[in-house]
Amino acid sequence: MELTGERTAPGIWHENYWFRRHEAAYLATLPLTRGRRVLEAGCGEGYGAAMLRDEDADIVAVDLDESTTRHAANCYALPAVCGDLVALPIRDASFDSVVSLQTIEHLWDQPGFLAECARVLVPHGLLTLTTPNRLTFSPDWRPGTPPTNPFHSHELDAAELTNAVAPWFDVIELVAVEHGARIAAYEQRHGSLVAAQQASPPDQWDGELARFVADLDATDFVVSADDVDGGLDLFVVAERRP
């Protein structure tokens, strides 16, 4: 699968921070998907859908990009469907759970996507979304300007995300993915880990930064309600209204 910077993939040492940050959110999702019929909307490379499948989710993965769904099917033996997330090729009330992690910020029609999530869920079905917290991911953003990330259409803060799902869903939980103790200790010594990675190409990183990034795992991140507005990624669980 071609790596463009839009999607995170496992096994790339200098991408390991972003991969583990995403993996932590998938691990937090597992209790919500075990034994359920699950649609992953925006499956990307496929590693997340495979994690959910391996923990007893009956899963179907959807992504707009044909080469991506082909990779997910071939690499992970997933039932992967090429489809538009604002016009899902799925029958009404087909799934108990929709999971969509780090996807909504890429979409031009976010209300249309959320309406489709509601349509394919059974009554009281669960929607689980994560998205970068605009307040920390793009702290200098101003209304009317595009997001810093060229692959993002519209980023959200916690209040905006809650309002976005409100027409179709009742929010059960709103938490955030945050740095755990080991990253916090590193940042006390060296400053922002994200800023350090973005300051130069990976082949110019100093040895300590390179080793630290390559050694990270999902346990170096936590999902917490302590400071949602200050969190890295927002994590919302919402229930479809009957």
Instruction: Determine, yes or no, domain membership for 201.
Output: no
pLDDT(4) > 80: no
pLDDT band at residue 95 using 50, 70 and 90 as cut-offs = very high
Per-residue pLDDT tens over the stretch 161-213: 999 999 999 999 999 999 999 999 999 999 999 999 999 999 999 999 999 99
210 lies in some domain? no
Q: Is residue 77 part of a domain?
A: yes
- pLDDT bin (cut points 50, 70, 90) of residue 151 is confident
The average confidence (pLDDT) of the chain is 94
HEC string of 108-149?
Answer: CCHHHHHHHHHHHEEEEEEEEEEEEEHHHHCCCCCCCCCCCC
Do 20 and 220 contact (CB within 8 A), yes or no?
Answer: yes
Give the tokens for residue 124: 């009281």
212 found inside a domain? no
Q: How far apart are CA 134 and CA 24, in angstroms?
A: 19
**pTM (2 d.p.):** 0.93
Q: Would residue 190 count as lying in a domain? A: no
Domain membership of residue 196 (yes or no) is no
When divided into structural domains, the chain yields a total of: 1
Please check whether residue 53 lies inside any domain of the structure: yes
> Which residue, 146, 126, 122, is CA-closest to 134?
146
Domain presence at residue 93 = yes
Q: What is the pLDDT of residues 24-78, one digit of tens each?
A: 999 999 999 999 999 999 999 999 999 999 999 999 999 999 999 999 999 999 9
CATH number of the domain residue 61 falls in: 3.40.50.150
Range of the domain at 99: 13-179+223-240
* Residue 6: pLDDT band with limits 50, 70, 90: low
